[in-house]
Structure 1
Amino acid sequence: MLYRSTCLLCLFIAILNSHCTPPANGDDAYKSPDGYDLNKPFIIKLPVELDEISGVAFYAKDTSVFAVGDEFGWLYKIPLTGGKPIHKWKFSANGDYEDLVMVDKVFYVLQSNGNITAFTFDDQNRILTQQVDFPSRGNEFEILYYDPHLFKLTLICKDCESDKKKALTAFYFNLLNKHFDDSTSIDVTALANMIGEKKIKFKPSAAAINPVTDELYILSSINKLLVIADRQGNPKQAYPIDEGLFKQPEGITFTPEGNMIISNESAKSGVANLLFFKYNKKAKS
């Protein structure tokens, strides 16, 4: 599965022909990062089977999104072109799966305890799987993203025993030797200051690097925030998000052109969906 650029016009035609609905919030009440309008996404409804969609990864070769759900060990391929079916493959037993990254031909799926399941398809379309266990217990994760500059995956703690309210720990998974190696931290105090709070218990649920701006976008479903940081995790900007539109955002991915795709669980209200935000580099918030 080779990663290549895709025709932006074809993507928008595909989305407009798919099952889209107007945004939940008609008022432009929420500020947006440069290049985006967080108030006006294309909304793609998903079937009930994907009510607990979590991690997502854009696949440029045929304009689709790979996804995993929270519990059942299935990989889904969701086409963004109208009229095409969703495909799925069983990659593992039931578990608590939180995020998905695709690097070259290999999929990496994060479990909430930090374990990573890596798998790929052989020439006969059979799945080859390897699991790497996180070296310690008592941690909870929802985020796994790829940094191409480091050739490493990064896990950000949602709730780790060693963390206090002032910082969140991030751990690296080295793709060269398939081992966890270094760690770093995200300054939560700086984030609290940005939103006018003395302190905040930040619990992030999804993150990805924007390939156009080279910034790290971090979502928090609980805090209803979109945080933009540098690649080291230092917060630069923070944007409150509409809880009616972002009812439970659990995954984020980007197209090569910078278009942002966010997955929402159903959250016991309606169905799960994908929110597609067009990137316009000339637009300013």
Structure 2
Amino acid sequence: MLLGNNVAQASPAPGISNVGHTINGLSKWELPAILKEVSGIKYLGNNRFACIQDRLGSIFIYNTTDNKIEKEIPFAKAGNYEGIAIAGTSAYVVQSDGTLYEVQDYEGATPVVKQYDIPLTAKNNVEGLTYDKKNDRLLLVTKGNLPRNRQCKGVYAFDLKSRKLVAKPVVKINLADPIFCSLKGKDNAFLPSAIEIHPITNDIYILQGSDPKLLVMDEKGQMKKMYTYSRSNLPHAEGLAFSPEGELFISNAGTTGAATIQKVGL
């Protein structure tokens, strides 16, 4: 049963489709109260997720089999944490103002925390973070539009060798593309809340939390699909994760009840 509604749009470009996703009948887990404001998740394997929540500077390891938090890993004071990425034994967490934390050996006995002040600000409003294994870099997506270009939002790269942010976006989300033509509003018609890379196709997936949607682009930023959802299924979609096999998980902050992680069919 498809629970998302098809987006009506005028003459989409070849290869672009807007369709619903299957949610009904797939797994769903309610998160503990401390994760009510869950803002980012990453799948660790063996039914375990690394989770962050909006206000606390801690990583929480949550096990869906036992439905409990196995471990809390503090790394900073209270803030506005929006995305998490895992690269080897390091976890990376980003604040909306662009402050980036690396938690080395994050599951070890004595994690080491490093902070990187990258040239993004609260005006850019960083909302998502993921690890691009193919290019050994982090990708960050912003909710704010690009400077001097209100028709585009940016996906930026943080190089893990130089530990520096590439100055220009490596991918642009062009709001003038036909795939966006049916969305309500103008320049802020698409508001990213998370980013992830498909482990098999290397396509880039970008989630919108309000009026939930999921944009799929190829590695170069070519638009492929826009999936839509019902708010009754994804009331406040904030986090995005894939298993190595390509299973998709979306987390919801608990605005109208308990926060959740849901498995979503592709």
TM-score by length of 2: 0.85
* Aligned pair partner of 2:49 in 59, 65, 81: 65
Whether 1:148 and 2:137 are equivalent positions in the alignment is: no
Which residue matches 1:157?
Answer: 142
Question: More displaced, 245-254 or 214-223?
Answer: 214-223
Cα separation, partners in 2 of 1:79 and 1:225, compared to 1, 3 Å: same
Structure-2 change in CA distance of 1:122 and 1:199 (3 Å): closer
Work out the CA distance in 1 between the residues paired with 2:130 and 2:67: 30
- Identify if the C-alpha distance between structure 1 residues 88 and 124 changes in structure 2 by more than 3 Å, giving closer, same or farther: closer
- Distance change (3 Å), C-alpha of 1:264 and 1:58: same
The whole-number CA distance in structure 1 between the counterparts of 2:206 and 2:19 is 15
Matched, 1:118 2:106: no
Matched letter for residue 251 of structure 2: S
CA distance in 2, matches of 1:100, 1:81: 22
The aligned length equals 252
- Shift, 1:231, TM fit: 1.8
Question: Pick from 65, 71, 75: which aligns with 1:91?
Answer: 75
**Aligned partner of residue 177 in structure 2, secondary structure:** helix
Q: SS of the counterpart of 1:107?
A: strand
- Structure 1 pair 39–162 and aligned structure 2 pair: CA distance change class (3 A): farther
CA distance in 2, matches of 1:114, 1:101: 14
More deviation, 241-250/163-172? 163-172
- State the superposition RMSD in angstroms: 2.6
Quick check: which one's helix share is greater? 1
Extract unaligned runs of 5+ from structure 1: 1-25, 280-285
Q: Could you tell me the TM-score, scaled by structure 1's length?
A: 0.80
Would you tell me which structure has more strand in proportion to its own residues?
Answer: 2
Percent identical across equivalent pairs?
25
User: Aligned-pair distance for 1:42?
Assistant: 1.5
5+ residue gaps, structure 2 = 7-16
Using the TM superposition, give the Cα deviation of residue 87 of structure 1 relative to its aligned residue in structure 2, in angstroms.
Answer: 1.9
- Displacement of 1:222: 2.2
Structure 1's 34 and 176: CA in aligned 2 closer, same or farther, altered over 3 A?
Answer: farther
Aligned twin of 1:76: 60
Q: In 2, Cα distance between the equivalents of 1:260 and 1:106?
A: 22
1:203 alignment partner AA: L
Alignment-derived partner of residue 232 in structure 1: 220
- The amino acid that maps onto 2:87 is V
Quote the Cα distance in structure 2 between the aligned partners of 1:136 and 1:45.
33
Alignment of 1:190-205 (within 5 A): 190=177, 192-193=179-180, 195=182, 199-201=186-188, 202-205=190-193
* Aligned-partner SS, 1:72: coil
